[in-house]
Each structure stands twice: as C-alpha cells, then as structure tokens.
C-alpha cells in the first residue's frame, strides 16, 4: 500500500492508501484498484492497538521483564523536564519577555537537548514502551499524550515482524 492524494466526492484532495499494481522494479505486486482514505484506516489500527493493550495480558507482559530500568526512568524525567523548558521558552517569547534573538538561541539549544534525550531514550527503551504508561492513565490516554517515537515503539512491541 502507498499513500496518495485522492479526490473525494466534493472535489477535495485527502491522503489515501492505494494498493500498488507495479513496484519500482516493474514487477506486479498488487491489484492497483483498492483505495481507502487514510484517516479512518489509521483510526481503526489505533483502536485495535488500544483494544489489544486494554486486556489482562498487558499486566502479564509488564511483569514479564518489560519494566523500565532506573536509568530509563531518569531519562524519561529529563525528557519531560526538557519539554517543559521548551514550552517555557515559547511562553516567554510570546509574552514579550524575551527578544526574538534570545528566543531563537534558547529554542535551538533546548530543542537540540530534547532531540538528544529522545535518541538516548529510544536506544534505552527498545522494548520497554509498555512499562512507560504512567500509572493511573489508560492506554488510550497515554497514546493521545505520547509523541511519535513512543507510538512507534508501542506498535513495534505488538507487531510481529518475522517475515520468513
């Protein structure tokens, strides 16, 4: 499946999944006729992920060694603090308490640190995503508040990628 820009009945263009008939090497790979709007398909996949995780098996999975290490928890706290700092920089600039030059410098530095923490976190938490669901939050709430790398790790945890 590929993502294309498809025209709807009102003449507007929206992202859609399309079954590709011929691949880049001119080999036939699909029918070339199936086309589905992207948003409803993604909503269905997200609902399936959340349904799968809101089960008793989630607790068993967490108890089976997928808990966050102290180092990982520290990285998560540092990332959250850094994200708050980035928001504070934006707030200071938006209220006029910081000049644009100060804002640009502070934002660049803060964003670089946040990105570095994100990369470190990705390395440390390759299979501990499920343990990172904050206590008292449902999987749906955690999903809605999470960033893209966390969501990808969650999907990687669920999807069997053995292509043999």
pLDDT of residue 45: 86
pTM over 0.85: no
Q: Is 17 helix (H, G, I), strand (E, B) or coil?
A: strand
pLDDT over 60 (residue 116): yes
Total residues found in the chain within this entry: 164
pLDDT of residue 61: 54
Task: Quote the mean pLDDT of the chain.
Answer: 80
> What is the C-alpha separation between 81 and 75, in angstroms, rounded?
10
Q: Is 135 left (phi over 0), alpha (psi -120 to 50) or beta?
A: beta
- Structure-token match 């691949």, residue found: 23
Q: Note whether 20 and 32 are within 8 A (CB).
A: yes
pLDDT, average across residues 55-72:
58
Percent of the chain with pLDDT over 90: 24
Q: Note whether 72 and 128 are within 8 A (CB).
A: yes
Q: What would the pLDDT profile of 131-144 be if each residue is shown by its tens digit?
A: 566 666 777 888 88
């Amino acid at each position: 499946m590929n993502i294309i820009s498809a025209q709807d009945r009102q003449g507007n263009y929206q992202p859609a999944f399309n079954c590709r008939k011929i691949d880049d090497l001119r080999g036939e790979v699909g029918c070339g006729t199936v086309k589905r709007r992207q948003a409803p398909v993604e909503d269905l996949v997200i609902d399936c992920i959340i349904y799968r995780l809101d089960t008793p098996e989630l607790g068993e999975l967490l108890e089976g060694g997928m808990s966050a290490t102290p180092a990982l928890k520290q990285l998560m706290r540092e990332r959250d603090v850094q994200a708050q700092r980035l928001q504070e920089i934006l707030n200071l600039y938006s209220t006029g308490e910081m000049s644009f030059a100060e804002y640009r410098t502070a934002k660049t530095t803060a964003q670089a640190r946040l990105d570095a923490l994100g990369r470190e976190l990705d390395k440390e938490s390759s299979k501990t995503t499920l343990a990172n669901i904050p206590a008292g939050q449902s999987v749906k709430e955690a999903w809605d508040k999470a960033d893209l790398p966390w969501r990808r790790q969650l999907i990687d945890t669920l999807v069997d990628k053995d292509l043999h």
